[in-house]
Amino acid sequence: MKKLILFLFYLLHFLPIPILHAMAWVVGNLAYFFAKKRRKIGQTNLKLCFPEKSSLERNRILKKNFYHISCMLLEYTICWYSNPERIKRLVDFENFEILQTLCQDDIHLIILYPHFYALELGALRLNLEYPIISVFTGQKDPQINQKMYQGRTRFNDINAVNLIRRNDKIISIIHLLKESSALFLYLPDQDFGKKDSVFVPFFNISTATTTGVSRISQLTNRKVLPIIPIRHGNKITLKILPLMNSIPSSKVLEDTKEVNLLIENVVREYPEQYFWLHKRFKTRPDNENSVY
């Protein structure tokens, strides 16, 4: 069955992107109706983060959210099988000169890359310009795990990709980042539990947030550059924002607050494209009940 699905994905990559996205509307509407647990998680997250919006407005955002995650699912067909020229046509840069200048000046970077649904295709496009180091979360299914790993490293002959396993020791990651000039693509906006996390505001909610951006920046002398992958119609834009010059500071808590505030501001601009189907507020401070 899995081989059949992978073969279907191979066939789908021949379709024009407007057709894939039209299919995503169908898949997204079906998922919104049938994926009740995920729908409830999304509704809870949006209610917590946008209490000023009506339930109707939040449901409209959530329906679009299911569409965008379906786009990402179908865009895996392009990530896994399409050539570099097609990916370059589908993904543009905004403010690319910021990244170019920093790399030309040999400034080593942490790319702050939040969980927006255009992230997979966006990361491949970035890899066509620069070598990348990133964290790879293993999948339970070995075939899918292998395919995702291969998909993310398929342009190694153009620019190297070094995927770090999530359970690798932090000291080995630090050594790698110190020795390499590759961009470190880092997604810090998920709930990883209380270990190595602090509670800082995210949409005015006390949220368990990894301190990795601040600590890694301090230990490796890397600057933090936010890049946000946003889908506009049938194309994707990698929005390169100004360098976060205040990180690292001497205060990990303040750095982590700033990271969350930046992500929040972008999420407010594109709420339908953010990863609301994850239990972002699962870990609560002591004596607080679960919101889910």
Cα separation, 108 vs 75, whole angstroms: 30
Q: What is the dihedral of CA 161, 165, 169, 173, to 10 degrees?
A: 10
- In the block, which residue shows the tokens 């969350």? 260
Q: Which two tokens stand for residue 261?
A: 């505030």
pLDDT score for 143: 80
pLDDT score for 142: 80
Number of Cβ atoms within 10 Å of the Cβ of 74: 21
Cα separation, 220 vs 175, whole angstroms: 8
pLDDT score for 141: 75
pLDDT score for 169: 67
| Tens of pLDDT, residue by residue, the chain (292 residues) | 777 888 888 999 999 999 999 999 999 999 999 999 999 999 999 999 999 999 999 999 999 999 999 999 999 999 999 999 999 999 999 999 999 999 999 999 999 999 999 999 999 999 999 999 998 877 777 887 888 888 899 998 888 888 887 766 677 789 899 999 999 999 999 999 988 899 999 999 999 999 999 999 999 999 999 999 999 999 999 999 999 999 998 899 999 999 999 999 999 999 999 999 999 999 999 888 999 9
Cα separation, 169 vs 149, whole angstroms: 20
Cα separation, 156 vs 154, whole angstroms: 6
Cα separation, 156 vs 253, whole angstroms: 36
Secondary structure class of 181 (helix, strand, coil): coil
pLDDT score for 172: 78
